[in-house]
Structure formats: structure tokens, C-alpha cells
Chains A and B, each alone.
Chain A
Amino acid sequence: MAPRGSKTAQQRDRTDQRAELLLGALASAVLLLIAFMIVFVFAKAWPSFAHNGLAWLGPGGNVNVQLEEIFASPGSPADYNYTLHAWPLLYATALITGCAVALATVISMLSAMFVVEFAPAWIASVLQPVIRLLAAVPSVIYGLIGILVLVPFFGNHVITDGQKESVQFVIQLDGSSILVGILVLTVMITPIMIAITVDALRSVPRNWTEGAAALGVNRFRALRTVGLRAARPAIVAAAILATARALGEAIMLSMVAGSVAFAPNPLDGVTFFFEPAKTFASSIVDGAEGLSVEPFGQTMYAFAAVLLISSAFLSFAGWFARRAMRKYTLAPR
């Protein structure tokens, strides 16, 4: 007689099959969910794009006024107002994200070199958990410090009255600015980049570091020419990860970069950095209460659709970059 608890081969196969089906269904459910998300968001966003065409991305008019008008649309669907020229939002998103990622990449590469090669042992061992902790701090806390410390600091002590006057007919300068947004965003995304870069530098094969040393190249040069080169794929991956995080940052930016959708004007010189702006993500957060009002809600979904498209673009760029970087890794033999 078969021992208690064991199953025949047939029973085993059936349980296995059932388990596989169940788990597979679970996995497919998530797949379906995400597919739905993409479809629904675009479907909800479509009217906003359709009514504006390509001008949706272009400049023209004041976005804040346009959004108010959309919100105040009359009740019948035929009369909904969708007019929007979202260039200031596009510009602000690209500017803030781009500057923050560029700054973060430079700082993280230098910091990683410091941690791996030049830092005394006790500093390096303290920095590791500190970096991990910084990466885990919620964005609302960064936003809080930004708005309660940095914004008043810049508004009262750095921005001069002259600068405020020079743009007073266009925009109010009170310290909420792209500068604070970029600075805080950089601090937010740097820790994870440092962690990835440090890992990559530490896993450079010792063969290479010894080979460079044996040729009489000093530590910094060897690190720069061989270490960073070997770590290039990881650095690129970290930058892409950081860009994705920066693009989606809504809460912190809505707290420190101002609640006005504005395209900062580079011709203003230094004042350019003190001008406020809104990104797509922070606009959605600011418009959260209006989501049930039809045309306004659809415009918000249009913003979300733009964010989805840029995320997809980033993943594609990441995949492409990984292929191009393959020549830097040791080819399996």
C-alpha cells in the first residue's frame, strides 16, 4: 500500500498542472491589468489630444488660464473646452529632469570614486548605510525641508528685489523656483546612483585594476580610465533609472517649484533659475480635486499619457544602451 500522504504519478501531474495554471493565471492577470492601464489612460486622454492636435505640445497662451477655462467648461459634452498648449509643462519637465540627472551623474561618479578609492575606511563604512537611508527617505520629507527651509532662504536672502522687479509683470518670484526643484531632485536621485556606481566599480575585475597599476598609472587615472570605463553600462543604467524617478516626481516638485505653470526664460539671465515652473507630474497632483470634472480630468489623463510615453521611451533607450555597451563587458568565452 502506498505510504500515507504520497500521491500517485497521475495525481502529482494533475496537482502540478493545476498549480501551474493558477500561478500562470495570476501572472497573466497582472499583465492584463497593465495592458488595461495603458489602454484606459490613453482612451481617457484621447479627447484632449484630438481637440488640440500637435499644438498640444506647442507654446501659446498661459497654461494656468487654459486649465482654469477647461475646468469651467459648460456641462454638456458637446461644449467641452479642451484648448491647451502644454509647452511650458513640457519645457519645465525636460529642464528640471535633465539638469537634475546631469548634476546627479557627475556628483555620483565623483562620490563613488571617493567611496571606492580615496575615502578612509571608517568614512566609507559610515557612508554605505547613510546612502541607503537617503535613498529611502520619502519625497514628502524632501519637499517639506525644501519648502520650509530652502524656498524662504532663496526668496528672502538670495533673490534680490531688482530681480523680482525685473519680471514682476510676468511672474512673481518668491523662492519657489526651478533652482530649488533641481537641487532637491538631485539630492533625491543621487543616492541610488551612487549605490549602483559603487557596486559597479567594486566589481571591476581585479585583473584590470592590477594591470593598470602595473603599467605605472596612478590610482586616479586608473580609476578614471579603466574603472569608470568598465562600469559604464551600470552608470548608464543608473542614469536611466534616475531619469525615470525624476520624471515621476510629483509631490516634492509641487511643493518647491511653485504652483504656476510657467516657462522659465533663459534670456532673463540669472533670474532664469529663480522662476517657478510646473511639470506634468506635479500638475496632476495639483489638479487632483478636479479629476471628476470631465474635460479637466481628461486633460490630466493626457498628462499621464505623456508620462507613460516617456517611461516607455526610457525603457527603450535603456535596452538600446545595454546592447551598445556590450563591448565593454568581458565577452563570455
Chain B
Amino acid sequence: MSTHAQSSRQLGLYARLRGGDSWSIGDRLGVAAAWGAGLLLCLIAAAIVLYMLVRGIQYLRLDEIFSHPVAGTDQSKNGGFLDPLEGTLLLTVIGTAIAAPVGVGIAVWLTEYGRPAGLARAVESCIEIVAGTPSIVLAIFGLLVFQQGFFSFLSYEATPGVAFGRSFFTAGVVMSLIALPLIVGASREALHSIPRHVREASYALGKDRISTIRRVLLPASRRGIGTGVALGMGRIVGDTAIVVILLGASLQNDPEGSIPGLSLLQGTGSTLTTYVYNNSPVGEGGSPEKAYAAAFVLLLIVIGLNFAVDLITRGRGPSWTR
């Protein structure tokens, strides 16, 4: 009988606790640590979600969503956050409206054309750089650009030759930058996953490349593009730094100029994120209740967008092998 057979008697409880032959103490500690980390993760996630839920329900009153902020030193007594809510929606719309076509266009160029190769690689690296740059840096760069007199039509001219640089327009443009890499990435993936024979079939029918893209490839990549757009929107909704730098610090939306609509875009304002920021102890408004309420609404919006991404990715996309 080999020596193995003797050692393979069923291990008693004590031997198992001690570590035994196949699970050393280090291994057991490792498993315990893995369990610990996992449970810690669950705990923290539950704590954050439950805490925001409790505070949000505690402090959110429905009328807050629908009333404007009221200027006043004691923010906790009155006013709501309709303006910041509008601001968030407005910025999201502007940012996505710019980022989506540009992003899809770049993705199409990268996958379907991409010549010269050096330029394509440079553009790829460039998108990666944008993805990796902190939004605060993009924000002050945006301020730098839009303060040039040339861009004064986007905000307003404080002194001749120097634009104020802060408005919904300018903030929206820079917001599109942070959503861009997500849209480009998701669209590229979607386009890449379309097998070659689909393109070849379209070319064989006599269609040129751009028609193929417009009529065949883009509709087929709807799911991927949609995912990218939803992810980009999520990023825009949650960003604070760009708004702080590029949207001024006003509590209410301050239209600038006389043309309705356009004046809103040229004016300053706030979003849910800066509203929360300003109402926390670091900002001027000392009203944590409002901050919690607004944060809760913000969280709901983010959860909703996340859910939308889930829905989009879960649906059955085109199957090329059917």
C-alpha cells in the first residue's frame, strides 16, 4: 500500500480546523478574507443605498421638485430645486446632442474608414486621453477657450473682448467631451461585432459605403450605440466639476439676454449636482435637508439610467448566425 493511502483517511474535525493536509492555514485565512471582503462590500452598498433612501424620503417633499429655489439666507425653509433639475436635464440634452452624432461619426470613421492608419491611431489615443483626463481639467480648459472674445456669442461679454465663458452652452459643450469616449467605445464595439459578410452583401448589391453605413450598419448597432449614449448620459448627470467651473454659481437659472430660449442657454444656472454641493457644509447654503432631497432625486435618475442600460443590453440583438 502506498504512503498516500495512509494520509488520506478522512480528516477528523480537529485536523480540519488545524489546517490538515490540503487546506493550509494560509488558505483558510484567504477564504475567510475573501468572505470578509465580499460581505463588507454588501454591507457598504446596502448602507449607502439605505441611508440615501431614508434621508431622501425623510426630506424630500414633492413640491420641492416643482418649485423654484428662493433666494434667501435660510435655504432650509423654502424653495425647491426645480431650476437645478431643469439645469441637469438641459445639460444632459445639450451634451448628448453634441456627443452622440460626433461620437458615432468618429466610431464609424475609425471602423469603416480609418485611413491613413497613423491618423486613426492618433485619434484612438486622443479618445483615450479624453477618457483619462479628469473632468476638472477639461472644465478649466473649456473655460479658457470660451473666454476668448470669439466665443462671446455662447455666453455674454463682460468686458469687450473677454467673454464670461460660463453658460449652459459652454458647459454643455464640455459635457459632451466627457460623454464622447463612452459613446465612441460602445459604438465601435457594436460596429466591430457586425460580421464582414453583412457589409460584403451590401456592397455586392451595389450600395456605396456611406449608404451601407446609414442603412445597414447603424441600425444594426442600435443597441451598442444606445448603451453608449445611456452611459454617457449617466456620466453627464453625475458630474459636478464642470458645472462648478462652467455654469457659474447661481442658485436659479439666470437667463442672459432677451431672446427666450436662447437667453436661457446663454445664461448661468445650476444643476442638481452643484445644488447638492452648494447646500452641503462646503457651499454657501447651509441646508443639508435640501441637499439630501436633491441627492436622492439625483440618485434616482442615475439608477434609472443604469436600469435603462441593463434593459438595452439584455434584449436580444440581431443574430447573424440565424
Contacts and interface: CB of A to CB of B under 8 A. Distances in A.
Q: Which 10 A-B pairs have the closest CB atoms?
A: A248-B134, A138-B238, A114-B38, A110-B37, A12-B208, A23-B109, A19-B210, A114-B34, A111-B37, A251-B240
B137 A248 contact: yes
Contact of B130 (A34, A40, A248): A34
Contacts of A27: 105-106, 109-110, 119-120, 123
Interface stretch (A65-73, A83-91, A128-136): A128-136
A26 B34 contact: no
Contacts of B281: 147-148, 255
B280 interface: yes
Interface of A: 6-7, 12-13, 15-16, 19-20, 23-24, 26-28, 30-31, 34, 36-37, 40-41, 44, 107, 110-111, 113-115, 117-119, 123, 127, 129-134, 136-141, 143-145, 147-149, 187, 190, 194, 216, 218, 220-221, 224, 244, 247-251, 254-255, 259, 281, 284-285, 288-289, 291-292, 300-301, 304, 307-308, 311-312, 314-315
Interface in B116-166: 119-120, 122-123, 126-130, 132-138, 140-141, 143-145, 147
Nearest to A129: B310
B136 A147 contact: no
Contacts of A44: 144
Interface string B60-82: 00000000000000000000000
Contact of A136 (B49, B51, B145, B302): B302
Contact of A147 (B238, B282, B298): B282
A138 B137 contact: no
Given A248-B133, A250-B241, A311-B134, A107 B37 contact: yes
A221 B27 contact: yes
Contact of A308 (B23, B133, B135, B180): B133
Interface string B76-115: 0000000000000000000000000010011011100101
Interface residues of B, number: 83
B109 A248 contact: no
Contact of B123 (A31, A118, A136): A31
A119 B127 contact: no
Contacts of B306: 129, 132-133, 136
Contacts of A117: 34
Contact of B34 (A110, A141, A281): A110
Contacts of A119: 38
B126 A30 contact: yes
Contacts of B30: 220, 224
Contacts of A24: 109, 113, 115, 119
A113 B32 CA distance: 11
A250 B136 contact: yes
Interface stretch (B40-48, B194-202, B218-226): B40-48
Contacts of B136: 248, 250, 281, 284-285, 304, 307
A107 B35 CA distance: 11
A14 B249 CA distance: 50
A118 B35 contact: yes
B239 A284 contact: no
A118 B110 contact: no
Residue picked from A40, A147, A194, A284, most chain B C-beta under 10 Å:
A284
Contacts of B17: none
6 contacts: A136-B302, A138-B240, A145-B52, A291-B245, A301-B144, A308-B133
